[in-house]
């Protein structure tokens, strides 16, 4: 089985001029061109492209487990070893992505797919950017998962460190089962990020170990120059798995301490 992302092409001349239609076509073609040059076990695999008079279709590796977001909805928050394993794999894919000169720009649990054997794959590259050809001054992505420097991007610009902030947001989602800035409106979250320079808070019910909290704080370092790289985070002691541990599927769970 394979997966397909497809959009229908408009037949009426007026529809062809629709900005939303043009944007959708550009995004799919951009994602296809990006995935075409990537090859890593923790990035969704590109299989091909088809363009007909009526549609554009991109073919991808089928990942039957769905997204991490879907798994959280189904099973609740994960066992801590699962959380560490998934984080380490996402960082491996991110390290490769950055080494190839790309920024993802929209890392969140919804965009991480999970195979039945527990292998994670980064997906959805519609707004990814090359680091060697683009001036990174556009504010794109999802506000609640966005790094603070993106909110001031026209003044300061940004780089691949925004994806490290995304890792922190994914961790927070796996720990709590909820999005960053849960309970906050978009404008309030933007104000706390941009003006107050605050990271997404953790709920009082979540008690983290010193290693887990240190890892979280590293991801949410406000100054991007001081924020670690994917390479550095992959070697963080928090991600060390218990000897002999292996992924054996999900167990229904509830929010827990880490």
Q: Name beta bridge partners: 5.
A: 58
pLDDT in tens, 140-177: 678 899 998 888 766 677 899 999 999 999 999 999 99
- Residues with Cβ within 8 Å of residue 218, at least 6 apart in sequence: 227, 228, 233, 236
Region 232-242: mean pLDDT is: 97
- Model confidence, pTM: 0.90
pLDDT in tens, 174-198: 999 999 999 889 889 888 888 888 8
Where exactly does CATH 1.10.510.10 map onto the chain?
A: 68-239
CATH H superfamily, domain 2-61: Phosphorylase Kinase; domain 1 (3.30.200.20)
Other Cβ atoms less than 10 A from the Cβ of 27: the count is 16
Q: Would you say 51 and 33 are in contact if contact means Cβ atoms under 8 Å apart?
A: no
Domain 68-239: which CATH class? mainly alpha
- The whole-number pLDDT of residue 144 equals 92
pLDDT surpasses 70 at 90: yes
Largest CA distance in the chain: 62
- The whole-number pLDDT of residue 95 equals 97
Where exactly does CATH 3.30.200.20 map onto the chain?
A: 2-61
Identify the band that residue 252 occupies on the pLDDT scale cut at 50, 70 and 90.
low
Catalytic residue, from 106, 134, 140, 204: name it. 106
Verify whether residue 106 is a known catalytic residue: yes
DSSP string, 113-157: EE-TTS-EEE---TT-EETTT-------S-GGG--HHHHTHHHH-
Alpha carbons 130 and 25: distance in angstroms, whole number: 19
- The whole-number pLDDT of residue 255 equals 45
Other Cβ atoms less than 10 A from the Cβ of 17: the count is 10
Q: Would you say 123 and 113 are in contact if contact means Cβ atoms under 8 Å apart?
A: yes
pLDDT surpasses 80 at 66: yes
pLDDT in tens, 117-138: 999 999 999 999 887 655 455 6
């Amino acid at each position: 089985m394979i997966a397909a992302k497809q959009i229908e092409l408009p037949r009426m001349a007026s529809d062809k001029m629709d900005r939303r239609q043009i944007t959708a076509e550009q995004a799919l073609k951009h994602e296809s061109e990006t995935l075409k040059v990537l090859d890593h076990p923790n990035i969704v695999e590109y299989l091909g492209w088809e363009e007909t008079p009526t549609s554009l279709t991109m073919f991808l590796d089928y990942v039957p487990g769905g997204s991490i977001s879907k798994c959280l909805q189904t099973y609740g928050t994960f066992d801590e070893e699962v959380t560490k394993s998934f984080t380490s794999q996402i960082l491996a894919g991110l390290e490769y992505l950055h080494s190839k000169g790309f920024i993802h720009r929209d890392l969140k649990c919804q965009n991480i797919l999970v195979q039945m054997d527990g292998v994670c794959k980064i997906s959805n590259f519609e707004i990814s950017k090359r680091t060697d050809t683009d001036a990174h001054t556009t504010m794109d992505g999802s506000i609640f998962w966005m790094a603070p420097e993106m909110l001031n991007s026209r003044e300061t610009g940004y780089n691949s460190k925004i994806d490290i902030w995304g890792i922190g947001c994914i961790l927070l989602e796996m720990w709590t089962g909820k999005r960053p800035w849960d309970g906050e409106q978009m404008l309030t979250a933007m104000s706390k990020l941009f003006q107050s320079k605050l990271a997404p808070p953790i709920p009082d019910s979540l008690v983290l170990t010193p290693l887990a909290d240190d890892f979280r704080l590293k991801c949410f370092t406000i100054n991007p120059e001081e924020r670690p790289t994917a390479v550095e985070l992959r070697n963080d002691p928090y991600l060390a798995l218990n000897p002999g541990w292996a992924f054996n599927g999900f167990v229904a769970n509830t929010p827990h301490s880490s």
